[in-house]
Amino acid sequence: MTRIALYPGSFDPPTRGHSDLVTRSLALADQVIVAVARNSAKQPLFTLEERMEMLRAVCGDDPRVRYESFDGLLVDFARREGATLIVRGLRAVSDFEYEFQMAMMNRHLMADLETVFLVPPEDATWLSSSLVREVARHGGDVTGLVHPAVAEALRRKFGR
């Protein structure tokens, strides 16, 4: 049986932490679907198409990784795709409450969909898309925090 994992998120933009998690997820599943939320509650900086394009550039071409977008509930998308695992990154204690609530709600909605948390590399535990956006917005250096293609997309987005 093919084990399919979903790695859902906003990826606005993808960081080094995200690409690391995609690689780690492959140890748990035969196929990983990087699932980009179309209508996240947040107002994204990048369009869905831009985020998908950046993810492909950042995570590279691996036949075991697919990039998809989804609308509505994650559990409905998981059912359509036959996924049995949700993978999320857990960076710090501050992530825990939100992640725990989401995991429990998803379990309530779909009992046989398991959430697993993976820890990013130590030097990326403080890294977040929102901080990257903020630094880039004010012209700060995001080298090393994001893939060069993402750094370039941020420069273009902020007209630098």
Contact set with ligand PNS (CB under 6 A): 8-10, 37, 40, 73-74, 102, 105-106
Are 14 and 54 in contact by the 8 Å Cβ rule? The answer is yes
CB of 159 to ligand PNS, least distance (A): 25
Question: Residue 80 catalytic?
Answer: no
DSSP letters, 65-132, are EEEEEE-S-HHHHHHHHT--EEEEE--SHHHHHHHHHHHHHHHHH-TT-EEEEEPPPGGGTT--HHHH
Question: Residue 40 catalytic?
Answer: no
Cβ neighbours around 140 below 10 Å, total: 12
CB of 105 to ligand PNS, least distance (A): 4
Determine which one of 51, 129, 133, 147 is catalytic: 129
CB of 30 to ligand PNS, least distance (A): 22
Determine which one of 10, 16, 18, 133 is catalytic: 18
Task: Choose between 35 and 136: whose C-beta lies nearer to ligand PNS.
Answer: 35
Question: Residue 18 catalytic?
Answer: yes
Tokens of 81: 């795709």
Determine which one of 3, 42, 80, 155 is catalytic: 42
CA 4 to chain centre: 16
Active-site annotation, residues = 18, 42, 91, 129
